[in-house]
């Protein structure tokens, strides 16, 4: 049993990556506000976990590494994926919920896997993503503009943006990747009769996983799916207002390791100074490396891009568990290589 557990940080120099729509009390009726958390210490811009997962899905779709995305179907105000984790890699690693439909416009596309009558299917997502929140409070800037490419008076509009370092925790359950539970517990009713038949053909006989009956893909297939997802983190792309506030959302800093548990050891690696500047909590990192030393199954891969908080980068301690690389892409790629190696197949038990 093992988990890929990490924290990545993006540098948002002037950005509005996730918005909440109109804000009550704004100067103009069409003001677009960013998502933010107001606290006594100040205002923290954030990007919802749903948005981060969407960025990752679309990045994987464009990656060209064999990733197989599930078809999506729409019924009125309800949308859902094919919910077939045996065939679709994102259904496997991102989870799903699907229930039988009684509507006339229910999905009848040939691409849809049939769903057994009177049975809902659910799958807990092996991938867990936290809310991407600014490390330090950040003032929100109001940008006022006008639409003037027409006859008559200019049409005013207004939107918010910010300058911040946004940190996002994530975890991927390697035991559950490519493992399809065939039980009746909520979140573990992964299969109906149609998907069970397919799992029997591709996975063979059921086995006991965490006390429950489950089908498992061949280990090489499970490794490929996981490694593809992890590699996509290095080239993450997405975000709102990119036409006006073009922002590189690929990680500028990453801490990531394979751990025995799904707990998140890197939650307090970065802190805010009294001047609201992002800083490395070197003492906290040393404590993590000491307290968690028996839980790390891999080195702690650290990728820190040059030019991003260079003075804080120098505070990284020398430690046998820390594997430092020059760039987050190198760190993520190195771990993905481990996840795909024959020597590390025990991580998926």
Q: Residue 3: is its pLDDT beyond 80?
A: yes
Q: Which two tokens stand for residue 318?
A: 């020398």
317-328, pLDDT tens digit by residue?
Answer: 999 999 998 899
Is residue 168 a contact partner of residue 7, using CB atoms and an 8 Å limit? yes
The answer to whether 133 and 46 are in contact (CB under 8 A) is yes
pLDDT for 64 beyond 90: no
Contact of 216 with 202, CB cutoff 8 Å:
no
Q: pLDDT tier at 24 (50, 70, 90 boundaries)?
A: low
pTM of the model: 0.93
Strand 300-304 with 322-325, pairing: parallel
Sign of CA dihedral 63, 239, 86, 116: negative
Confidence class for position 167, pLDDT limits 50, 70, 90? very high
Q: What is the mean pLDDT of residues 73-96?
A: 92
């Amino acid at each position: 049993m093992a988990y890929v557990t990490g924290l990545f940080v993006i540098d948002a120099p002037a950005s509005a990556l996730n918005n909440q729509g109109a804000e009550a009390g704004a100067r103009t009726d069409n003001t677009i506000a960013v998502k933010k958390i107001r606290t006594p210490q100040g205002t923290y811009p954030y990007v919802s976990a749903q948005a981060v997962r969407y960025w990752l899905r679309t990045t994987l779709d464009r990656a060209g590494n064999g990733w197989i995305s599930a078809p999506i179907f729409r019924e009125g105000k309800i949308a859902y994926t094919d919910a077939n984790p045996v065939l679709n890699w994102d259904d496997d690693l991102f989870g799903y919920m699907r229930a039988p439909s009684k509507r006339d416009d229910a999905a009848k596309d040939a691409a849809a896997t049939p769903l057994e009558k009177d049975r809902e299917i659910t799958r807990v997502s092996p991938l867990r993503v936290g809310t991407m929140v600014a490390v330090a409070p950040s003032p929100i800037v109001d940008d006022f503009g006008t639409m003037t490419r027409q006859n008559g008076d200019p049409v005013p509009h207004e939107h918010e943006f910010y300058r911040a370092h946004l940190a996002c925790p994530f975890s991927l359950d390697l035991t559950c990747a490519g493992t399809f539970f065939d039980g009746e517990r909520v979140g573990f009713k992964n299969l109906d009769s149609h998907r069970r038949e397919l799992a029997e053909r591709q996975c063979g006989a059921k086995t006991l996983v965490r006390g429950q009956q489950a089908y498992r893909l061949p280990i090489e297939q499970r490794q490929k799916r996981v490694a593809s997802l992890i590699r996509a983190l290095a080239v993450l792309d997405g975000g709102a207002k990119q036409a006006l506030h073009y922002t590189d959302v690929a990680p500028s800093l990453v801490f990531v390791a394979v751990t025995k548990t799904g707990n998140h050891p890197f939650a307090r690696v970065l802190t805010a100074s009294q001047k609201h500047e992002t800083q490395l909590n070197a003492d906290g990192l040393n404590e993590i490396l000491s307290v968690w030393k028996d839980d790390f199954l891999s080195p702690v891969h650290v990728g820190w891009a040059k030019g991003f908080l260079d003075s804080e980068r120098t505070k990284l301690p020398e430690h046998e568990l820390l594997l430092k690389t020059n760039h987050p892409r190198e760190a993520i790629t190195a771990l993905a290589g481990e996840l795909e190696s024959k020597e590390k197949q025990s991580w998926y038990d």
